[in-house]
Structure 1
Amino acid sequence: MSVKIRLSRAGAKKRPYYHIVVADSRSPRDGRFIEKVGAYNPMLPADHADRVKLQPEKIKAWLGKGAQVTDRVERFLVKAGLIPERPRPAQTKQHLPKKKAQERAAAAG
């Protein structure tokens, strides 16, 4: 069984509120979960103390058991100092001009 620490949406329409839960990766986003380990309220300002609430001892226990974190929850845990930041993959070069366009630009200027 693959266990993930992820967000589960709650709150009213256009008033999101998320629970940070430990759940089986196969269960639905807002469905069954194993344990609630925190909360996230995106409606609050970024510097507000209650925007992200975590239970560090429970999170560390689940990480020790091999739980994987989603990208958004990983950001919260890095900011709280619970896990180290992992290096991001290098940006692709798709945004650069292709070979012929570079040759034309070099010839023109």
Structure 2
Amino acid sequence: MALKLRLARGGSKKRPFYRIVVTDSRMPRDGRFIEKLGLYNPLLAKDSEERVKMDIERAQYWIGQGAQPTDRVARMLEAAGVLTKTERSNPKKGEPGDKAKKRAEEKAAKAAEATEAE
């Protein structure tokens, strides 16, 4: 059984509230879980202590049992000092889209024509 530490969504429409849970990776996001480890309220200020509440000892236990945290939960555990900070990079995200590349090429071509005409 592949275990995951992940977020299960609660709350009403446009008012998200998450539980940090241990679950089988094959279960649906808001489905059955093994144990509730804490809460995450993204609507609170980032410096608020109430934003993330988690049972750190149980999280360490489940990680020791082979549970893999999702990216968001891993960031919370890194902030709490449970996991070592990992380097993340998404080189595609910083790259401009196709239309922006095309516009840049056209602008460069016009600039080149203007310098040749002078």
Task: Normalising by structure 1, report the TM-score.
Answer: 0.83
* AA in 2 matched with 1:27: M
> What is the Cα-based RMSD across aligned positions, in Å?
2.1
Residue in 2 aligned with 1:38?
38
Offset, 1:89: 3.8
Residue in 1 aligned with 2:47?
47
Task: Normalising by structure 2, report the TM-score.
Answer: 0.77
SS in 2 for 1:29: coil
Q: Which has the larger radius of gyration?
A: 2
CA distance in 2, matches of 1:88, 1:50: 26
SS in 1 for 2:83: coil
Q: Structure 1: give runs of 5+ residues left out of the alignment.
A: none
Offset, 1:86: 1.2
Offset, 1:12: 1.4
SS in 1 for 2:11: strand
Q: After the TM superposition, which parts of structure 1 deviate over 6 Å for at least 4 consecutive aligned residues?
A: none
Offset, 1:15: 1.2
* AA in 2 matched with 1:77: L
Residue in 2 aligned with 1:6?
6
Q: Residue 90 and residue 18 in structure 1: after superposition, are their counterparts in 2 closer, same or farther (change >3 A)?
A: closer
Residue in 1 aligned with 2:87?
87
**Structure with the bigger percentage of strand:** 1
Q: Residue 17 and residue 94 in structure 1: after superposition, are their counterparts in 2 closer, same or farther (change >3 A)?
A: closer
* AA in 1 matched with 2:39: A
**Structure with the bigger percentage of helix:** 2
CA distance in 2, matches of 1:94, 1:72: 23
CA distance in 1, matches of 2:90, 2:3: 28
